[in-house]
Amino acid sequence: MRALVFGSTGQVARELRRAAAELGIEASFLDRAAADLADPEACAAAVRAAAADVVVNAAAYTAVDAAEDEPGLATLVNGTTPGVIAAACAEKGVPFLQVSTDYVFDGTPGRPWRETDPTGPLGAYGRSKLAGETAVTAACPDHVILRTAWVFSAHGTNFVRTMLRVGRTRPEMRVVGDQHGCPTAAADIAGALWTIAEDWGRGRGRAGIFHYAGTPATTWAGFAEAIFARTGWPEKPKVTVISTADWPTKALRPANSVLDCGAIEAAYGIAQPDWQLGLESVLEELGEAAA
């Protein structure tokens, strides 16, 4: 299978590259210099020029708070360009896989979100990703939109790396405990995307929006406690639970973004991953795991 991947240095793109080598997938990765998502037509041209069996978009504008100041750029990168890429894929009869987010929901229900639930993003980032979902769905019938959440890995900017960096020098960490979600290892997301891509190559692809995130659900404070508990540090910071109101941010976050992942298992046989196992692997890669 030959794959064209938008993104090269992001968390998911890096794991896609690593997994492709292990799976024997011939994948080409486009960095910003080769295909800038702020230039939709350049991205479409890259699709038309490629001899690919599947196209994956693992690039995005992911700065949630900055998006409040740059909603136009966020919408261009996350909304307009994926739709243009999807249209180019449709022209060539190639399936398109797009990564989306739990932040398309407003966080109100007391149960995990299903794909069929009404969306209602609270901020510019979520609105931009929802715009991408709408554009991709309209432009390419052979599409899969993978909504995921709380992505972490051994590289890039993410909660795990931030906790390790800051927690090493502080006796106490104040972390929000009233936002509930599903941490997800980037390596697991990459594995799911390649499984979906290979199923399309075998003629077993099913189009639509699917949820894929780690289990069990937790809070940011619970996630922080799990990180520190698994380090080999002799002195570990105390995690003090605070409320969202105690840690104001420019962008609103959903109080509940837990995702129901039953549909992807039914369609593709992909079960929810245990994020705690993914966390252990990341800590080992970073040299921070307990012996």
**Cα angle, residue 46 at apex, residues 41 and 33 outer, rounded to 5°:** 85
Q: How far apart are CA 267 and CA 51, in angstroms?
A: 27
Q: What residues form DSSP beta bridges with 144? A: 97, 208
Distance (Å) of CA 145 to CA 83, 87, 95, 125, 201: 12, 15, 11, 16, 17
Which residue in 61, 103, 125, 212 is the catalytic one? 125
Which one, of 242, 236, 248, lies nearest residue 219 by Cα? Answer: 242
Which of the 8 DSSP states describes residue 289?
B
Cβ atoms of 205 and 140 closer than 8 Å? no
Q: What is the dihedral of CA 92, 193, 8, 157, to 10 degrees?
A: 140
Residue 183, Ramachandran bin (φ over 0: left; ψ between -120 and 50: alpha; else beta): beta
**Which tokens hold the place of 30?**
């486009």
Catalytic residue list contains 125: yes
The per-residue b/e assignment along 240-260, b for 16 or more CB within 10 angstroms, e otherwise, is ebbeeeeeeeebbbbbbbbbb
Cβ atoms of 252 and 122 closer than 8 Å? yes
Q: Which residues are identified as catalytic? A: 125
